[in-house]
Amino acid sequence: MVTIKSTREIETMASAGRVLAGALALVAENVKPGVSTEQLDDLAEEFILSHPGARPSFKGLYDFPKSLCTSINNEVVHGIPSSARVLVDGDILSVDCGVCLGGLHADSATTIPVGEVADATKQLLQVTRESLDAGIGAAVVGNHVGDIGHAVRQVAEAAGYSVVRDLVGHGIGTSFHEEPQVPNYGEPKRGPRLVAGMTIAIEPMVNAGAHEIKTLADKWTIVTSDGSLSAHFEHTVVIEDGGTRILTQSSQS
Ligand code: MG
Ligand code: MG
User: Residue 242, class by beta-carbon neighbours within 10 Å (0-12 exposed, 13-18 middle, 19+ buried)?
Assistant: exposed
Residues with CB under 5 A from ligand 1 (ion): 96, 107, 109, 234
**C-alpha of residue 136 to centroid of ligand 2, in Å:** 14
pTM for this model (two decimals) = 0.97
Q: Are strands 245-246 and 235-238 parallel, antiparallel or unpaired?
A: antiparallel
251 in a domain, yes or no?
no
Q: For the chain, give the percent of residues with pLDDT over 90.
A: 97
Name the residue among 122, 166, 171 with its Cα closest to residue 148: 171
253 in a domain, yes or no?
no
Band of residue 7 on the pLDDT scale cut at 50, 70, 90: very high
Q: For the chain, give the percent of residues with pLDDT over 70.
A: 99
| Euclidean distance between CA atoms 87 and 36, whole angstroms | 6
Mean pLDDT of all residues in 36-58: 98
Single-letter amino acid code for the residue at 54 = A
Predicted pLDDT of residue 4: 97
Q: Which residues pair with 5 in a beta bridge?
A: none
Read off the pLDDT of residues 161-212 as tens digits, 9 standing for 90 and up. 999 999 999 999 999 999 999 999 999 999 999 999 999 999 999 999 999 9
Name the residue among 1, 18, 65, 10 with its Cα closest to residue 249: 18
2 in a domain, yes or no?
no
Mean pLDDT of all residues in 42-61: 97
| In the predicted structure, residue 218 carries a pLDDT above the cut 50 | yes
35 in a domain, yes or no?
yes
Helix (H) or strand (E) holding 76: strand 75-77
**C-alpha of residue 108 to centroid of ligand 1, in Å:** 5
Band of residue 59 on the pLDDT scale cut at 50, 70, 90: very high
240 in a domain, yes or no?
yes
Mean pLDDT of all residues in 50-66: 97
Mean pLDDT of all residues in 104-110: 98
Q: Are strands 92-101 and 68-72 parallel, antiparallel or unpaired?
A: antiparallel
76 in a domain, yes or no?
yes
Predicted pLDDT of residue 67: 98
User: Residue 243, class by beta-carbon neighbours within 10 Å (0-12 exposed, 13-18 middle, 19+ buried)?
Assistant: exposed
Read off the pLDDT of residues 133-165 as tens digits, 9 standing for 90 and up. 999 999 999 999 999 999 999 999 999 999 999
| Euclidean distance between CA atoms 149 and 181, whole angstroms | 10
**C-alpha of residue 151 to centroid of ligand 2, in Å:** 18
24 in a domain, yes or no?
yes
**C-alpha of residue 115 to centroid of ligand 2, in Å:** 26
97 in a domain, yes or no?
yes
Mean pLDDT of all residues in 66-80: 98
Looking at all shown ligands, the one closest to residue 171's CA atom is 2
CATH number for the domain that contains residue 34:
3.90.230.10
**First-last CA distance in the chain:** 29
Phi (first) and psi of residue 96, to 5 degrees = -120, 140
Predicted pLDDT of residue 252: 47
Total domains in the chain come to 1
**C-alpha of residue 117 to centroid of ligand 2, in Å:** 26
Phi (first) and psi of residue 230, to 5 degrees = -140, 140
| Domain region containing 132 | 7-246
CB 212 within 8 A of CB 222: no
